[in-house]
Amino acid sequence: METALTPLEFGRRARRLYADREAVVDRDLRLTYGQFFERCDRWSAALQKLGVSAGDRIAYIAPNVHAQLESFYSVLQIGAVLVPLNYRLTADDFAYLSRIVCAHPDYVDAVDRVRSQLPKVEHLVSLGEIRHGWLDYESTLKSSPPEFAHPVIHETDLATINYTGGTTSRPKGVMITHRNAYMNVVGTLIHFPMTPADRYLWTLPMFHANGWTFVWTVTAAGGTHVCLGKVEAKTAFEKINSERITVMCAAPTVLIFLANAPERVRKGVRAGVRVLTAGAPPAAATIERIESEFGWILTHIYGLTETSPFISVCEPRPEHQAFTAPELCDIKARQCVELITSGELRVVNAEGNEVPHDGQTLGEITASGNVVMKGYYDDPDATAKVIRDGWFYTGDAAVVHPDGYIEVRDRLKDVIISGGENISSVEVEGVLLRHAAGQEVAVVGFPDEKWGETPRAFVVLKPGASITEDELRQFARERMAHFKIPQSFIFLAELPKTATGKIQKYVLRGNRAAIHMQ
């Protein structure tokens, strides 16, 4: 007897065990798990009445609101495929995808402007205010019965199509199966346990790799989803305190943003919040600051949209207890060891052989196992480039330490080769962020006639801070080899980022960087 591995199983269990527990908080709306799943069932029935059948793709363009959370159950349980879109994508990126597009009022006008470019879309659904020519989500849901036809769900069926961040090229549609998502949730809960007492704040976009699968992880634990439509420091800190938040996910850029909020905003913030950080290698200085100033507990995890998304975690070990705070933060900045459920992880050289575990030899991270995507939607050529001989090639350059812990040094494309030496932009960024004046740093390589490439640093200073280029260069000289010192330091008001908080280094390499300068 077998049961398909699908995240819908977590919903089934939550209905039975947690029906009366608070499931969702979205501004003034509070829903128990019983109420939440009744809404999901009603929308499933409504979608079937609109002609949606198994395999159809349903797109959502929305911030972190309850309607977006409901889609991860209502769409999947009728066998359809959810496409949670990054709201910064253009019509060309999703015009061919879906029969139905559901949009939050913030994005209804944007969809209306490109409506003529969406010939395959049969219905537009407004997830808020009533709009002419649009179906209203709430009234349609309420008038629908909670009974719907339950198709057989196979674990190899597509659950979602998630777009990559688009930091280097046009976004690609990552096909995640029910099995992929289920295994990621289980692995997350093994290494990052949660209970029904936990209250999770949605600072991470739900559309980004399915909110790192926390759309299902929180439900599996019977915890409470606290929605946050927009990440503003004042609102985030208020929610953390008023809703007694215990868990959240955040990319390093979001942590930096929160850490640098005005003192009046962050003063008295609730301590003990457990934070999962990923998306980019966090600097040890960032981890140290968050843990010391806020009293939060950070766990660093690594993965990609293509790996559902987690494949490794910075697993604590007993010997770490003897480390000083800075030493421990250096360890926490590493990406570390495989999740129990993710499969095998290797760092290999150009010949496909594992690199020595010496903390120095650079290779590419590859993964094989339960969480690797089915492929890129309608793009077999791109799929073949990254999945070869049963391994997914991540494009991330890393070293392996003697204790087996992996440390990402860069994206392969971001490794700076200067005079024959490999320079990790992540390492240089980590050193510069230890200066008290620095808020954010991005280091990229620029062509150089003599050395081939030399590093250039783009720096955002903390509000009110001041430092000269010479002072920052001297600070760096005292802490790293001279060939790694950036040739120039450019001070910006902000760094260009994707909607998920990743720094767009390709923008910094081009002329468009000038528009961000102070």
List per-residue pLDDT tens for the chain, 518 residues long. Answer: 789 999 999 999 999 999 999 999 999 999 999 999 999 999 999 999 999 999 999 999 999 999 999 999 999 999 999 999 987 666 555 555 678 999 999 989 888 888 887 888 899 999 988 888 899 999 999 999 999 999 999 999 999 999 885 544 567 899 999 999 999 999 999 999 999 999 999 999 999 999 999 999 999 999 999 999 988 999 999 999 999 999 999 988 889 889 889 989 998 999 999 999 988 777 788 888 899 999 999 998 999 999 999 999 988 888 878 888 778 887 877 778 899 999 999 999 999 999 999 999 999 999 999 999 999 999 999 999 999 999 999 989 899 999 889 988 888 878 787 876 778 888 898 899 989 899 999 999 888 877 788 899 999 999 889 999 999 999 999 988 888 899 899 999 999 887 667 788 888 887 444 433 33
The pLDDT value recorded for residue 518 is 38
For the chain, the residue count is 518
pTM of the predicted model as reported, rounded to 2 decimal places:
0.85
Is the distance from CB of 123 to CB of 46 less than 8 angstroms? Answer: no
The pLDDT value recorded for residue 516 is 39
Tokens of 83: 């496409």
Separation CA 283–CA 270 (nearest Å):
23
Tokens of 78: 């009728």
Separation CA 239–CA 253 (nearest Å):
19
* Tokens 């049961």, residue located: 3
* Tokens 């640098």, residue located: 260
Neighbours of 468 (CB within 10 A): 10
The rounded Cα 408 to chain-centroid distance in angstroms is: 17
Query: Regarding beta strands 488-491 and 452-461, do their DSSP bridges make them parallel or antiparallel, or are they unpaired?
Result: parallel
The pLDDT value recorded for residue 83 is 95
Separation CA 286–CA 257 (nearest Å):
11
Angle between helices 233-242 and 252-259 (to 10 degrees): 90
The structural domains of the chain, ordered by start, are: 8-179 (3.40.50.12780), 415-516 (3.30.300.30)
The pLDDT value recorded for residue 171 is 72
